[in-house]
Structure 1
């Protein structure tokens, strides 16, 4: 079995954790392939690969080491490659992590095949840019929100090409069930079971007494147009990555992505117990 090991070495405990993971995987006769950019003398990887997409294509599964941001980022790539992924948490919260650093003994279950796969849906944001049509997939959320100026924005939202609602707000969050415990939760949205097949629309600071989150089926297609009568800028961000500035009146379509993340589960977790524990700790 070939494992693509993708650590975020900027995390404090990630190098030591990565070294221990390699040692344990070798004990189970598993090959460890890593990116050339992560090369260190202390890492006894079996192969160093310069082509990231070839690395994902040739491996059997992916293990990533870092916080939620790292795991989410690598999970999007793994989903496109059709490979399952295991996240090992060296960050603060670790909602999408499958293991903590003190649980590496459970890696033996990979070699034994004693694990399950949990499917997580993703969203796709589609819009026109100067370079043409762009499509970006999100495991957590798609956010359309104002920039630095404290100016409210108008949003027209259509559901399946039919007018649905008008919002005056700082922004809108389109969140997957996985992302329901992230920014959407902070904005007053509900927590969804991560295996649900649907998604959320949660307004950010809506200028209304009735601005509540709405849950849609997985087949819903939402179209958003943004308007501002001031010089305030509007940005689109996906999973907290770099923002894309939107033009006044520009249209963004949000729907379920054709790709889905397959999270490797090596132990039985009670989701709501984890939510209470993680949010209390953070």
Structure 2
């Protein structure tokens, strides 16, 4: 279902590339802004919030896209979230941080800016709450900024083949059994620097520092920073600590050759990949970045304290 648009109000893609968008006068006659709505249908009131987005922005001539598994009235429906992200100018998720993380890799792949509307419990990554929908008009007046979030490129060398994945939060190497710990060695630029005997370990982005790494005792890192955080999970040594590496670091990890445990690597809670002592995992900064739209400026540490009060 395609919603009619106001032909007099137009938007320039060049403005989007410059980090802002604004209403165009009739002489520009560009194409209308296309906004994708990715809705977590499992969240209560998610569809109500999505309809509010349409209501707020339709008067500005915005064209809306949604996908078949959760179609929104007043939008053009396409088969998948990837297709609407690829076709849009701005991607909007309606759900929690998990909804953002799940779609962030696709947004980064196609270099599309992403805005999160929080309906979840925490909402560290989402920028606005359902009661802040009036902020949406800033998408067409250009009153926002783009915050770039670093991603990790994970390469798994397994059985003579390479598999590349992208992590928004973290890549975790962990054991499969509850009875034993796993020995993992880590190298920096090819030189072994540290070993952990633990339940597992993870490489995290600054964004991921407030996720699983935080629960494992890792430090909080401001999201604007570029670095790689290494955090052991329940290490069996008092001297085992977290390490923060520069963004240029190339790190590799391997399970100890004598280990007989079944181990796995999980990226952002997905991609459950079996790992053996013959496999090498390499971690570096991804050439891609997640571009988050900031409509409402919020102090990171104030937000952190507010969110942690909920636990």
- Shorter-chain TM-score bucket reads over 0.9
Deviations 1:207-226 (A, max 9, x none): 11111110000010111001
Higher relative contact order (CA 8 A, sep 6+): 1
1:87 corresponding residue in structure 2: 116
1:254 corresponding residue in structure 2: 283
Number of corresponding residues:
279
Instruction: List structure 1 segments (4+ residues) > 6 angstroms apart after TM superposition.
Output: none
In structure 1, what is the Cα distance between the partners aligned to 2:116 and 2:240? 35
Deviation at residue 147 of structure 1 after TM alignment: 1.6
TM-score normalised according to structure 2 size: 0.86
2:203 corresponding residue in structure 1: 174
In structure 1, what is the Cα distance between the partners aligned to 2:248 and 2:104? 22
2:79 corresponding residue in structure 1: 50
2:59 corresponding residue in structure 1: 27
In structure 1, what is the Cα distance between the partners aligned to 2:143 and 2:84? 24
Stretch moving more, 264-273 or 237-246: 237-246
**Secondary structure, aligned partner of 2:184:** strand
**Secondary structure, aligned partner of 2:201:** strand
* 1:232 lines up with 2:261 in the alignment: yes
Structure showing greater Rg = 2
Deviation at residue 55 of structure 1 after TM alignment: 2.4
In structure 2, what is the Cα distance between the partners aligned to 1:25 and 1:16? 15
2:170 corresponding residue in structure 1: 141
1:201 corresponding residue in structure 2: 230
TM-score normalised according to structure 1 size: 0.94
* 1:152 lines up with 2:181 in the alignment: yes
Once the two structures are superposed, the pairs formed by residues 91-106 of structure 1 within 5 Å of their partners are: 91-106=120-135
The 1:113–1:131 alpha-carbon spacing in structure 2 relative to 1, beyond 3 Å, is farther
In structure 2, what is the Cα distance between the partners aligned to 1:152 and 1:18? 45
**Secondary structure, aligned partner of 1:150:** coil
Contact in 2 for aligned 1:221/1:253 (Cα 8 Å): yes
- Which runs of 5 or more residues in structure 2 are unaligned? 1-32
RMSD across aligned positions (CA): 1.6
Equivalent residue for 1:111, pick from 123, 140, 144: 140
Contact in 2 for aligned 1:122/1:260 (Cα 8 Å): yes
